Amino acid sequence: MMEQFTKQFINGQWKKGSSDKSIENKNPYNDELLFTIPSANADDLDDAYQAAKNVQEDWENTALAEKQAMFDRLLQNMQKEKEEIIDWLIKESGSTRVKANVEFAAAVAIVRESASFLTRTAGAILPSRTPGKENRVYRTAKGVIGIIGPWNFPFHLTLRSLAPALATGNTAVIKPASDTPVTAGLLIGKLFQDAGFPDGTVNVVVGRGSEVGDEFVKHPIPKLISFTGSTEVGRQIGELAGKNLKEVALELGGNNVMLVLKDANIEQAAKAAAFGKFLHQGQICMALNRIIVDAAVHDQFVDAFVANVKKLKAGDPSEQETFVGPLINREQAERIQKDLEESVRQGAKIVLDGKAEGTLMQPVVLTQVTKEMPIAENEIFGPVAPILKAANEEEAIDMANSSIYGLSGSVFTEDRYRGVQVAKKIETGMIHINDQSVNDEAHVPFGGEKASGLGRFNGEWAIEKFTTIKWISVQDGYRDYPI
């Protein structure tokens, strides 16, 4: 199977990429070269989009029972291949076993939810002001969807777009992140192929951004580009798509906040914060980036939080007890160290100093952080926890809203009504009372505000995103016109 994953997956065939360039797939923990894949070029991309277009109408019109059987087999195959999927997540994306199992469960949930769209994608019949007329609203697939998969939760987040796209009658071309070509694309392509999905419904093109990145978005065939990744790249995709009048679904960066109010259960807040900050080394768009604590309980929270973080083992992600594994590459580690050092220079205090070696960073906890420091202003995407002190609830809300991002968040308080009132004031797409920020349920809307993206994934909101509607009116008899 390793040899199969060195190829592109286009129109049901595994073929060598046509570019003279290649992509190295490495284990981020030990830098082991897993394999080298010949890259795709613009011709391969065009072949993939053409294949998806050629079968889209037939796929949309495939009998409901046949589609349901394919999704049933897909879910069965995912369970059968669970250990292989988890193994790939560990060695390709640096996932710990805890995180890989969380991701696998989320992926199963999104496929199961998407399968329900087969009987939930409905139109409507509406009355008319015109006598004898019936207004029909038909909901149909958009056509071909271009999906750019990320490297942090590659398996789940690619499926989060692919499964609903296919369930609503679309076909797709996936461009996986170059750091995770297997788990963000090729392994997914094989699972769909093995489940009996027709050739061309799912295509995977692994290519360098310099060769196929812009063309992936600008190509005339895809009607919508679904992207999960950084805000910087998301802006570029949005600009290219806008010039070509193409729709986008963008789930971008986050500078997510936890507010610990003065009446919070400190022990529970500290435990939740440790999980929400350091799961997958903080490389989650929903991960806690800033922990804002009321001055009245600040010191108590810091002590409890540090005590919980000290229990987290950093190291080899394949070991069962490891909670903090490697960053995806050395560039990410160097970027975080730079922001960390600059923030300390500006006055931040390190209260838990984790060693950094290669891609492995042990947890770091900072206090005396201000909102202007780079470690609080920028999305960290790593195992550094900045704690900010707020004089009161109002200042905590102002600090939370000072970020350009607005993806997820958290409020800890013993007064749930108060928590909801505070949550309503936070400019974010999602926020959780007495829980940390990393939450994703397949039937609940997922998405952000401000620089954290456009649109919503999951549930009925995904149906809306991946379909289009057409109004067809039917006149009973003939109208009388005033002419």
Residues belonging to the active site? 251
Q: Which residue shows structure tokens 């076909």? A: 171
Amino acid found at 480: D
Q: How many CB atoms lie within 10 A of CB 337?
A: 15
Contact 173, 52 (CB under 8 A): yes
Burial 458-472 (b: 16+ CB within 10 A, else e): bbebbbbbbbeeeee
Residue 429 φ/ψ, nearest 5 degrees: -75, -25
Q: CA-CA distance, 192 to 169, in Å (whole number)?
A: 15
3-state DSSP percent of the chain in helix, strand and coil, to 5: 40, 25, 35
In degrees to the nearest 10, what's the CA dihedral of 239, 241, 242, 243?
A: 90
Q: CA-CA distance, 142 to 465, in Å (whole number)?
A: 9
Q: CA-CA distance, 417 to 133, in Å (whole number)?
A: 49
Q: CA-CA distance, 60 to 63, in Å (whole number)?
A: 9
Q: How many CB atoms lie within 10 A of CB 232?
A: 10
Q: CA-CA distance, 85 to 79, in Å (whole number)?
A: 9
Contact 203, 44 (CB under 8 A): no
